[in-house]
């Protein structure tokens, strides 16, 4: 799957922690073969979506300026973006917060620390449902 081609899946990774962004970008671009864009918060993500239409969004929940929860509300209420599958990750293991996010229409909610093998499988499952 590596290499630039028209079948290459696109992923937008949104996280305010640069170390997480770089780690996930490295993994998904080099090891999985995705075309990766990064955003440092929800506001930055909205700007990226003007020119980059991902197959899936990997989204941190706890961020400054606009939380993942707030970004999901914006995306799901915009017909241009409402169908993009979103997998949210968070250090928040609160069952009510998880349920609230799932009720907004995200595909999955993962509690940190992230297991990359599990995350790859969850993304694969989400993308196969969208195909």
Condensed to tens digits (0 to 9), the pLDDT of residues 10-48 reads 999 999 999 999 999 999 999 999 999 999 999 999 999
Range(s) of the domain holding residue 45 = 10-130
Residue 104 to residue 93: CA distance in whole angstroms: 17
Note whether residue 5 is domain-resident: no
Note whether residue 92 is domain-resident: yes
Note whether residue 3 is domain-resident: no
Number of domains into which the chain is organized: 1
pTM of the model: 0.92
CATH assignment at residue 118: 3.40.50.2300
Note whether residue 112 is domain-resident: yes
Give strand pairing partners of 90: 111
Block means of pLDDT (10 residues each) for the chain, length 131 residues? Answer: 64 96 95 95 96 97 92 96 95 88 93 91 90 65
pLDDT at 93: 87
What lies within 8 Å, CB to CB, of 127 at 6+ separation is 9, 55, 56, 85
Locate the DSSP E strands across the chain.
10-14, 35-39, 56-60, 86-90, 108-111
Cα Rg, the chain, nearest whole Å: 14
């Amino acid at each position: 799957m590596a290499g630039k081609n028209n079948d290459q899946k696109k992923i937008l990774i949104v996280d305010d922690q640069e170390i997480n962004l770089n780690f996930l970008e490295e993994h998904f671009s080099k090891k999985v073969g995705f075309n990766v864009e990064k955003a440092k918060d929800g506001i930055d993500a909205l700007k990226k979506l003007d020119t980059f239409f991902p197959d899936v969004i990997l989204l941190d929940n706890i961020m400054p300026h606009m939380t993942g929860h707030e970004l999901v509300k914006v995306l799901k209420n915009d017909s241009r973006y409402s169908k993009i599958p979103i997998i949210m990750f968070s250090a928040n293991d609160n069952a009510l917060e998880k349920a609230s996010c799932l009720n907004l229409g995200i595909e999955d909610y993962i509690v940190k620390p992230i297991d990359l093998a599990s995350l790859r499988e969850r993304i694969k499952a989400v993308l196969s449902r969208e195909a």
